[in-house]
Amino acid sequence: MGAKRRRRVMAQLDQAAQACVRAGAQMTDLRRTVLRLILEAEGPATAYELLDRLKRTRKGAVPPTVYRALDFLMAQRLVHKLERLNAFVPCAETGHQHMAQFLICRECGTVAEIEDRAAARALEHAAGREGFQPRHTVIELEGTCAACSHPASG
């Protein structure tokens, strides 16, 4: 990992820690480490991949160690779980309540987070008309990303 990327990860970790302070939540060393591993990952990371990486510095780490940290990070809206991939990605909009939408490329595996408020509102209204109150919504679109649909020629 380059110095530039490392600095960005550190900045994101500080931002996340500040969001926790504002929310009155405690960012422990373990939670911070798990978040760092997610931020450092090249793409979505599964709980077991995170556990493997965590074990390099915490020999005693077991699956519940990781799951509890992930639950906390999700509750603080610092990471999202991609149900389709059963994997975790950092939130692009650290710490604020929003209905995230993900574009998952089947070719290269990249995942982009977008936030289309109009789409989110439309869904909320549609659910509301049914008397349904959504508590947790993740929208995942699977397809081909721009880079994969238009490979550079030559």
> For Zn ion, which residue of 14, 83, 107, 142 counts as binding (CB under 5 A)?
107
82 interacts with Zn ion by CB under 5 A = no
Least separation in angstroms between CB 105 and Zn ion: 3
123 φ/ψ angles, rounded to the nearest 5 degrees: -65, -40
> For Zn ion, which residue of 78, 91, 104, 111 counts as binding (CB under 5 A)?
91
Least separation in angstroms between CB 61 and Zn ion: 26
Beta strand spans in 24-138 (E): 79-82, 87-90, 101-105, 111-114
Nearest CA-CA partner of 113 in 134, 135, 86, 141: 141
Torsion sign across C-alpha atoms 29, 5, 86, 99: positive
Least separation in angstroms between CB 118 and Zn ion: 16
Residues in the chain: 154
The C-alpha atoms of residue 70 and residue 65 are separated, in whole angstroms, by 9
148 interacts with Zn ion by CB under 5 A = yes
105 interacts with Zn ion by CB under 5 A = yes
37 interacts with Zn ion by CB under 5 A = no
Binding site for Zn ion (CB under 5 A): 91, 93, 100, 105, 107-108, 145, 148
